[in-house]
Amino acid sequence: MTNGDHEAGAGLPPLVAAQHRAMPFTRLTDCGMDPADARRLLADTAAGLSWQDAAATLADTQLERARLAETTGHDVTARQARRYASAALMFAQMAYQSDTAEKRELYARHTAAVAALAPGVERVEIPHRDGVLGGWLCLPAGPPRATVIVWGGLSGWGAAYLSVADAYTARGLACLLAEGPGQGESRLRHGLYVDERVIDGFARFLDLVEADPRLGGAVGIQGISFGGLFAAHLAAADPRVGAVVVNGAPAAPAVPEFRTAREQMAAVVGTDDPGRVTAVMDSLRFDPDKHRIRCPLLLLHGGLDPLARYEDQEPFLRAADPDTSTLRIWPDGEHTLYNHAPERDALTGDWFTDHLAGQDTPNG
* pLDDT, tens digit (0-9, with 9 covering 90-100), for 297-320: 999 999 999 999 999 999 999 999
Of 98, 115, 132, which residue is a domain's last?
A: 115
- DSSP 8-state symbol, 321: -
CATH number of domain containing 133 = 3.40.50.1820
Q: Are residues 95 and 152 in the same domain?
A: no
Q: Are residues 4 and 128 in the same domain?
A: no
Q: Are residues 313 and 182 in the same domain?
A: yes
Percent pLDDT > 90 in the chain is: 91
Domain of 168?
118-364
Q: Are residues 61 and 141 in the same domain?
A: no
User: Is the per-residue pLDDT at 177 higher than 60?
Assistant: yes
112-164: per-residue pLDDT in tens?
999 999 999 999 999 999 999 999 999 999 999 999 999 999 999 999 999 99
Q: Are residues 135 and 31 in the same domain?
A: no
- DSSP 8-state symbol, 161: G
Q: Are residues 220 and 330 in the same domain?
A: yes
Q: Are residues 95 and 167 in the same domain?
A: no
Mean pLDDT, to the nearest integer, of 333-349? 98
User: CA-CA distance, 162 to 83, in Å (whole number)?
Assistant: 9
- How many alpha carbons fall within 13 Å on the CB side of residue 340? 22
Q: What's the pLDDT at 11?
A: 85
Residue 285 or residue 264, greater confidence: 285
Q: What's the pLDDT at 257?
A: 75
Q: Are residues 255 and 286 in the same domain?
A: yes
pLDDT category at 256 given cuts 50, 70, 90 is: confident
193-236: per-residue pLDDT in tens?
999 999 999 999 999 999 999 998 899 999 999 999 999 999 99
Q: Are residues 101 and 221 in the same domain?
A: no
List the end-to-end C-alpha distance of the chain, in Å, as a whole number.
56
Q: Are residues 276 and 192 in the same domain?
A: yes
User: Is the per-residue pLDDT at 240 higher than 80?
Assistant: yes
Give the chain's domain count: 2
User: Is the per-residue pLDDT at 5 higher than 70?
Assistant: no
Mean pLDDT, to the nearest integer, of 4-32? 84
Q: Are residues 185 and 332 in the same domain?
A: yes
Q: What's the pLDDT at 216?
A: 82
Of 321, 302, 150, residue with least CA distance to 313: 302
Of 115, 148, 182, which residue is a domain's last?
A: 115
CATH number of domain containing 49 = 1.20.1440
pLDDT category at 359 given cuts 50, 70, 90 is: low
User: CA-CA distance, 343 to 297, in Å (whole number)?
Assistant: 18
pLDDT category at 2 given cuts 50, 70, 90 is: very low
CA angle 254–256–261, rounded 5-degree value: 130
254 neighbors 283 (Cβ within 8 angstroms): no
Of 115, 148, 167, which residue is a domain's last?
A: 115
103 neighbors 96 (Cβ within 8 angstroms): yes
Q: Are residues 178 and 306 in the same domain?
A: yes
